[in-house]
Amino acid sequence: MADDQQGPEATRRRALMLGAAGASAIVSIRPALAQTSASITNCEIPVPDAGRAGSYIAADGSLVPAGTPGAFPPPSAPFKAEDVRRALAGGNLPGADYDSSRAYTNYIRRLQSGTSGFTCFASLQMPRG
């Protein structure tokens, strides 16, 4: 007997198997999304990136030579994603006063693809479901 001539039991059985496969796909995707969310909160953004270490950060977020008046020395460690998220919402970055925090967040906002920390910053911009 051909597949299209089988009775309702075969059709029901096939539907149940497809449903089970779909449910297992959903179960396996959710932990992956949770893991992605966790990795986003654990990523870091160096200011500035390693290729430009030693540069100071001007108030507008641009990089300037070390010792430039009105510019801020780089922080001693990269910033965690959650700290950056809070700073972008109006708070200060850890270890930074208001002015240096604004300069660092301006630098972060200017990150381009291919720059260290860009992927982390971009992930902060994506809505979470």
Q: What is the mean pLDDT of the chain?
A: 81
Does residue 48 have a cis bond before it (omega within 30 degrees)?
yes
Q: Does the pLDDT of residue 113 top 80, yes or no?
A: yes
Q: Quote the pLDDT of residue 94.
A: 96
Dihedral sign for Cα atoms in the order 41, 111, 97, 125: negative
Q: Name residue, tokens 């870091």.
A: 44
Q: Does the pLDDT of residue 91 top 70, yes or no?
A: yes
- What is the spatial distance between Cα 42 and Cα 55, in angstroms, rounded to a whole number? 25
Supply 9's token pair. 């039991």
Q: Quote the pLDDT of residue 16.
A: 63
Q: Does the pLDDT of residue 81 top 80, yes or no?
A: yes
The DSSP call for residue 7 is -
Q: Which residue has the higher pLDDT, 6 or 68?
A: 68
- What is the spatial distance between Cα 119 and Cα 94, in angstroms, rounded to a whole number? 21
Mean local confidence (pLDDT), 111-129: 83
Determine which helix (DSSP H) or strand (DSSP E) holds 107, and give its type and residue range: helix 98-109
Mean local confidence (pLDDT), 76-94: 94
Q: Does the pLDDT of residue 2 top 90, yes or no?
A: no
Q: Name residue, tokens 């693809």.
A: 113
